[in-house]
A and B are shown apart, each in its own frame.
Chain A
């Protein structure tokens, strides 16, 4: 096809991960001849796709599906171990906003620095400086050092520079998860404009809503392979199915480990479910609605145990809330199967994707019998227009004043 601008053919990436991080000559010399140095890790096994000119191409996949490796290969940061990547035109070479920002420099200096890192020339940046600052709404802060900026200001500045990067193909990773609603709206407008201008955009996000709104086609990655290329709506459906399957698989894997360590008979997680009050399984939750996490733990030896549940925001791994039955003095009866529900009566987290980290512990020593990190993504949907990480219960009240 003539207007294919990105073609990825049978790309694979294998990392050689040193078993002991060999950073010194000594360990290098000592381990010479012995073949225990490296572990192979195949981050991407086989990925194929083509992107056409003017397309808004989404990429989704779970954590560990090879998304970021693929992005880095597209950006030229990693060299693929196998396969071919052909790019026709200039592709924005960065995968994160605000790369190289220095807190000790002023906003203006940082725009020049960041712009240069993104491949812009000094004159190009100088010409667009005012516009960049205006878009970021930082007119009064041009000569302030970045260390005095809030994270919202940083994101605005970073985004504002990034969209000026002279590139035919823009690589955008996970930007809309941060920033206040007002600025998000501006970002959306930029996306619409870029799309209307016919720019090619590769957009990677956990935010299924924005994937759905913008993407013409979506690549779904699963375990380092192309699972398929779908329309946005279809991709999100498949993604949810995969997500559920992954939890089941994870449980099976942990179950197997449990069997292998049969002599230990350690307690292990059998199942995790997200439920609404009616007891139906759910994958999305509105802000303020009740959310129940049901944990089923197999405990063959009927030992005393404690469980913990932590919630992370997937986009930036922000630890939102965590608790366990030890700190809250909840005694769990040591049965063969322990089923525990934790209910958040009014789930307070704002719009975004979150995931759970779960653990089963010995209640006296606090040692983990088993941990499941970052499993079970779910969407929080919040549409009341408030901002921030969490919805804090509050009220407004006008006091008597002069008439």
Chain B
């Protein structure tokens, strides 16, 4: 990896600049999920009892889902415009263009890891028992990263040609948000739709993460899908990565001219 230092510098720069000029700086990476948790806690334990009755640690359950989901939206949205935003570099220097997208995705990954620290703190506070299987969570984050990177590569390359994709992706994310059990529990969904929802890697990752970290009563893809379907959500991210990577590589040589 001859370009790992460049990935590192670009990602670090992006992360540094994110909080440039704000008083709290990096602390915002912790403050945001903290505040979100406060809101969720108040809303879902005091006002709305959306499935909160039969799910333990419901606000934490929601927080984890939202933190993972925000990583997906953040990283795909910033990575989508990363090539266009770094037009100055692309027109003036040669290096593999994929470096820019990878750097953008890593910068978002850093934010995710900081957010997860907050989640872990709350887990400690809530005295949620830690299982032996918790380290598997790393694999889920990796799966999420693979999926985000795949989508990012595809979107970044398409966005160079068609600026419509900003809006298309916004709508797509909205749909995906409501089609995934992020702010509602999977239990509220009519039974015949549940398998369909769990085919989506987003649902699968969020539910598996909740199962690993918060409550083993969580309904996962493994519970609702039969062989061979159960492999679908686990394999889709790699399909996205392959698609994104090949499309990106095919179009990358012309980026300098199109920007």
User: Chain A contacts of B10 at CB under 8 A?
Assistant: 113, 116
Partner of B95, one of A23, A26, A78, A117: A117
* Option from A26, A28, A99, A109 in Cβ contact (under 8 Å) with B92: A99
A116 and B256: CB pair below 8 A? Answer: no
Q: Is the interface of B mostly helix, strand, loop or mixed?
A: helix
For residue B164, CB closer than 8 A to chain A, the reply is: yes
CB of A15 within 8 A of CB of B257, answer yes
Kindly state the separation between the CA atoms of A121 and B93 in the bound complex, as whole angstroms. 16
B163 near A77: Cβ-Cβ < 8 Å: no
Tell me whether B17 and A24 are in contact (CB under 8 A). no
Whether A78 lies near B8 (C-beta < 8 A) is no
The answer to whether B94 and A112 touch across the interface, beta carbons within 8 angstroms, is: no
Chain A interface residue count, CB cutoff 8 Å, equals 31
Task: Give complex CA distance A161, B63 in Å.
Answer: 46
Q: Which residues of A contact B164 (CB under 8 A)?
A: 24-26
A332 — which chain B residues lie within 8 A by C-beta? Answer: none
Contact with B along A77-94 (1 / 0, CB 8 A): 111000000000000011
In the assembled complex, which residues on chain B have CB atoms less than 8 Å from the CB atom of A72?
91, 256
User: Do A102 and B9 touch (CB < 8 A)?
Assistant: no
Say yes or no for A95: interface residue by CB 8 A criterion. Answer: yes
CB-defined contacts of B17 to chain A, threshold 8 Å: 102, 104-105
Say if the beta carbon of B20 comes within 8 Å of chain A: yes
On whether the beta carbons of B5 and A78 are closer than 8 Å, the reply is no
Q: Which of A77, A99, A102, A105 has the most CB of B within 10 A?
A: A77
Judge whether B89 is part of the interface by a CB distance below 8 angstroms: yes
Contact in complex: B162, A113 (CB < 8 Å):
no
Q: Are the CB atoms of A77 and B20 closer together than 8 Å?
A: no
Q: Is A139 an interface residue (CB 8 A)?
A: no
Residue contact B257 to A78, C-beta cutoff 8 Å: yes
Q: Judge if B170 is at the interface, Cβ distance under 8 Å.
A: no
Inter-chain contacts of A93 with B (CB < 8 A): 93-95
Q: Is the CB of A104 within 8 A of B20?
A: yes
CB 8 Å contact bits of A92-124 with B (1 = contact, 0 = none): 011110011010110001001100111111100
What CA separation (Å) do A26 and B165 show in the bound complex?
12
On whether the beta carbons of A112 and B88 are closer than 8 Å, the reply is no
Per-residue A-contact encoding for B72-107, CB less than 8 Å = 1, 0 else: 000000000000000011111111000000000000
The answer to whether A119 and B92 touch (CB under 8 A), given A79-B253, A105-B13, is: no
Residues in A with CB closer than 8 Å to B95 are 93, 117, 119
Interface assignment of B16: CB less than 8 Å from any CB of chain A:
yes
Most buried by A among B17, B93, B162, B163: B93
- Rounded to whole Å, the gap between the CB of A320 and the closest CB of chain B is 25
Question: Would A77 and B8 count as touching, CB distance under 8 A?
Answer: no
1/0 per residue A50-80: CB within 8 Å of B?
Answer: 0000000000000000000000100111110
Distance in Å from the Cβ of A41 to the closest Cβ of chain B? 11
Instruction: Assess whether B6 is interfacial by the CB under 8 Å rule.
Output: yes
Q: Are B254 and A77 neighbours in the complex by a CB distance under 8 Å?
A: no
CB within 8 Å for A77 and B256 given contacts A25-B164, A116-B6, A119-B95: yes
Q: Which residue of the partner chain B has the closest CB to A24?
A: B164
Residues of B close to A116: CB separation below 8 A:
5-6, 8-10
In the bound assembly, the distance between CA atoms of A28 and B161 in angstroms comes to 10
Contact of A99 among B2, B89, B161, B254 (CB under 8 A): B89
Instruction: Please give, as numbers and ranges, the residues of chain A lying within 8 Å of B91 by CB-CB distance.
Output: 72, 77
A78 to B, closest residue via Cβ: B256
CB <8 Å contact, B93 and A99 = yes
Instruction: Give 1 or 0 for each of A175-191: 1 = CB within 8 Å of chain B CB.
Output: 00000000000000000
Cα separation A15 to B256 with both chains bound (whole Å): 11
**CA of A26 to CA of B161, assembled, Å:** 12
> Hey, which chain A residues are within 8 Å of B6, CB to CB?
116-117, 119
> In the complex where A28-B162, A105-B16 touch, is A94 in contact with B5 (Cβ < 8 A)?
no
Report the minimum CB–CB distance from B69 to chain A (whole Å): 27
| Chain A residues within 8 Å of B16, by CB | 105, 109
- Which of B9, B21, B94, B253 touches A75 (beta carbons < 8 Å)? B94
Within 8 A of A (CB), among B1-28: 2, 5-6, 8-10, 13, 16-17, 20-21
5 contacts between A and B (CB under 8 A): A93-B95, A96-B92, A99-B89, A109-B16, A121-B5
Question: Which residues of A line the B interface, CB within 8 A?
Answer: 15, 23-26, 28, 72, 75-79, 93-96, 99-100, 102, 104-105, 109, 112-113, 116-122
Contacts beyond the supplied A99-B92, A102-B13: 7 A-B pairs with Cβ under 8 Å:
A78-B256, A79-B253, A79-B254, A93-B94, A102-B17, A112-B9, A122-B8
The 4 A-B pairs with the shortest beta carbon distances in the complex, nearest first, are A76-B94, A93-B94, A116-B9, A94-B93
